[in-house]
Structure 1
Amino acid sequence: MNINQNLSPHFTLGELIHSDKAVELGIDNTPPDEVIERLKIVCCRILEPVRDHFHAAFKPSSGFRCPELNKAIGSGNTSQHIRGEAVDFEIPGISNYDLATWISTSLIYDQLILENYTSGIPNSGWVHCSIVSGKNRMQCLTIKGKSRQVGLIA
């Protein structure tokens, strides 16, 4: 596996599988081939359009997470990160609410979550976005702590 392999023009496999927590815990976060194919879809249909629209380079904070890593960070076993269908990210200098709003009206996605955003603090929280090869739900949520609401709430 070549971590420098481009999954799209501006995103590499290494960026989508890197995890400081995996390194810290000695977890092998190597994805199977079918997951790499899904990560290519995430890059081409979510990350590249976002980069093009905002004219900004950025690195995802979380892409693929193997089940062991996903459990170690306290995420559920149904997380789309395990299947390589989801990515968490933010763009420095762009409000995460504005980023999520643009995605909600411009892209096809399965699930879009504005996570831990605080109104008035533009770069608080992050955006989670997923896409599947079948029918995408176009589900939009805001999660803050244990509170979960339908829609994007600033």
Structure 2
Amino acid sequence: MITISDHITYDEAVYSNTAKVNHILNIPSADVIKNMQLVASKIFEPVRNHFRTPIKVSSFFRCAALNKAIGGAITSQHVYGQAIDMDGDVFGSPSNKAIFEFIRDTLDFDQLIVEGIHDGKMDWVHCSYKNAGNRNQILFMYIDSTGRKVYENYNLNRYQKLIK
């Protein structure tokens, strides 16, 4: 049985309702599983251990067909098992804001993205990690008035205005 980490099962890491409905086999290679284990150990487990409470993994690995089916970016690190989406709000605590700020302030990462901003909250936290060359890049992602995804570089003042 493949283990991703102490708190992420293989089934949880590859689960996708879209894959299930569309009969997409979302199966990572051995190299991708190693990436997933690294992301879990460097990002998810430190977050989970800090807050000492379950945190929903809303998306982890996506094969290319699944990534295309959900409209993911063609450069998505999810395809390589290098990115994880977490949603603390599902269980009530910690908030996505708290997860974001913990990662921002304490962990090394490649990309950290505040995703789906509306009503002073974020829908989830996207974080990626690579074995080498992490950029510590922080972005906002929101849907504009035309329905288009917009990515914007992080700015603390803007963050404080957008997220309550």
Q: How far apart are 1:13 and its partner, in Å?
A: 1.3
Task: Name the SS for the 2:80 alignment partner.
Answer: coil
Which residue number corresponds to residue 141 of structure 1?
139
Q: Distance in 1 between matches of 2:25 and 2:76?
A: 18
Counterpart residue type for residue 55 of structure 1 = R
Q: How far apart are 1:119 and its partner, in Å?
A: 4.7
Which residue number corresponds to residue 126 of structure 2?
128
Counterpart residue type for residue 130 of structure 2 = V
Which residue number corresponds to residue 110 of structure 1?
110
- Judge which range, 83-92 or 66-75, deviates more: 83-92
Please list every run of 5 or more consecutive structure 2 residues that lacks an aligned counterpart in the other structure: 144-148
Q: Distance in 1 between matches of 2:66 and 2:150?
A: 24
Counterpart residue type for residue 140 of structure 1 = I
Counterpart residue type for residue 133 of structure 2 = K
Counterpart residue type for residue 105 of structure 1 = D
Aligned pair count reads: 149
Q: Distance in 1 between matches of 2:68 and 2:102?
A: 31
| Percent of pairs with identical residues | 40
Q: How far apart are 1:150 and its partner, in Å?
A: 1.3
Write out aligned runs for 1:11-90 (5 A). 11-90=8-87
Q: Distance in 2 between matches of 1:88 and 1:17?
A: 12
Which residue number corresponds to residue 3 of structure 2?
6
Which residue number corresponds to residue 95 of structure 1?
95
Q: Distance in 2 between matches of 1:42 and 1:64?
A: 11
TM-score normalised per structure 1: 0.91
Moved over 6 A (4+): none
Please list every run of 5 or more consecutive structure 1 residues that lacks an aligned counterpart in the other structure: none
More helix by share: 2
Counterpart residue type for residue 139 of structure 2 = L
Counterpart residue type for residue 49 of structure 2 = D
* 1:151 partnered with 2:149: no
TM-score normalised per structure 2: 0.85
Q: Distance in 2 between matches of 1:41 and 1:119?
A: 33
Q: Distance in 2 between matches of 1:76 and 1:141?
A: 15
Task: Name the SS for the 2:34 alignment partner.
Answer: helix
